[in-house]
Amino acid sequence: MSSLCSFFLALLLVTPIVHSTPGVNTEIATLEHQNSALLQYPTSFTQNIVPKPIHSHNDYWRDVPLLTALSFGVASVEADVWLVDNILYVGHEMAALTKDRTFDSLYVQPLLKIIHGMNPVDSFTVNQTTPNGVFDTASNIPLQLLVDIKTDGVETLPAVLKALQPLRSAGYLSTFANGTFTLAPVLVIGTGNSPLEPIKALEPRDFFFDAPLTELTVPSNTTWSPTLSPIASTDYNVAIGWSGIGPISDAQKANITKFVNDAKSRGINSRFWDTPGWPIFARNAIWQELINDGAFWLNADDLEAASTF
């Protein structure tokens, strides 16, 4: 053996073997593979999801109603309800209704289950006085549930109020009572054929009214406030009409600003529905204009696009 080979052999024999420590990604992978208890906690259902002022228009059209919206951090969902044989069914039109897709099965029971899970009863929560909402990153933010009544409003309202009883009994409904508004995990608002006068007469009130955004300053026998109407909405195409193609006119921009400010001055959040969804660049231009002008809720059908906008 040459002297050079003998040298390297001796070097290998005396050099200690150094074992590299696992890197952070290796440690993460190990803990996840082990399903470690260190990674588990009771309110992780919406872990890392940040709530956003987006409204899921016709939410029942989503791949999974309610849950798809929550997965994108959407803080407002909409259900169209039809009263048929004393049962509230959900769908855009009568032809879309099925026996399985009811207001209770798609919204009430899932919300009850989710919120129960976000409010574990244990030694850590024994002194907690207010329930957590659906969002783990912001448990004080309620989920807004718009109930768009499609059948006769006066006839359907009692059925809706009855359907909400499980959430009411659990203390999960935002309520106005004895002059005090108490925010809770769910804020339910009637729209569509929801009847104004019977809703005004509710005491306590845990079902609110979607006010007419363009008529807040019109003299009437109704005082618009967030204790009656936390939200005010209008048809974008009728009230504004800008297509998103080409520049918006001064008059159109002034209308957006006026309606938004009419609502803001009353503590009411504004929403423009029926905003164009195509072409995409035009939709985005309208979204940007509404945000710039202070509109609170971004009405959307493409929730993924809205959540990353």
Q: What is the pLDDT of residue 130?
A: 94
Whole-angstrom Cα distance, residue 213 to residue 234? Answer: 5
Across the chain, what does the average pLDDT equal? 94
195-229 confidence digits (pLDDT tens)? 999 999 999 999 999 999 999 999 999 999 999 99
For residue 202, count other CB atoms closer than 10 A to its CB.
17
110-147 confidence digits (pLDDT tens)? 999 999 999 999 999 999 999 999 999 999 999 999 99
Three-class secondary structure assignment of the chain: CCHHHHHHHHHHHHCCCCCCCCCHHHHHHHHHHCCCHHHCCCCHHHCCCCCEEEEECCHHHCCCCCHHHHHCCEEEEEEEEEEECCEEEECCCHHHCCCCCEHHHHHHHHHHHHHHHCCCCCCCCCCCCCCCCCCCCCCCCCEEEEEEECCCHHHHHHHHHHHCHHHHHCCCECEEECCEEECCCEEEEEEECCCHHHHHCCCCECCEECEEHHHCCCCCCCCCCCCCCCEEEEEHHHHCCCCCCCCCCHHHHHHHHHHHHHHHCCCCEEEEECCCCCCHHHHHHHHHHHHHCCCCEEEECCHHHHHCC
248-267 confidence digits (pLDDT tens)? 999 999 999 999 999 999 99
23-81 confidence digits (pLDDT tens)? 999 999 999 999 999 999 999 999 999 999 999 999 999 999 999 999 999 999 999 99
Query: How many percent of the chain have pLDDT more than 70?
Result: 93
Q: Assign 268 a pLDDT band (cuts: 50, 70, 90).
A: very high
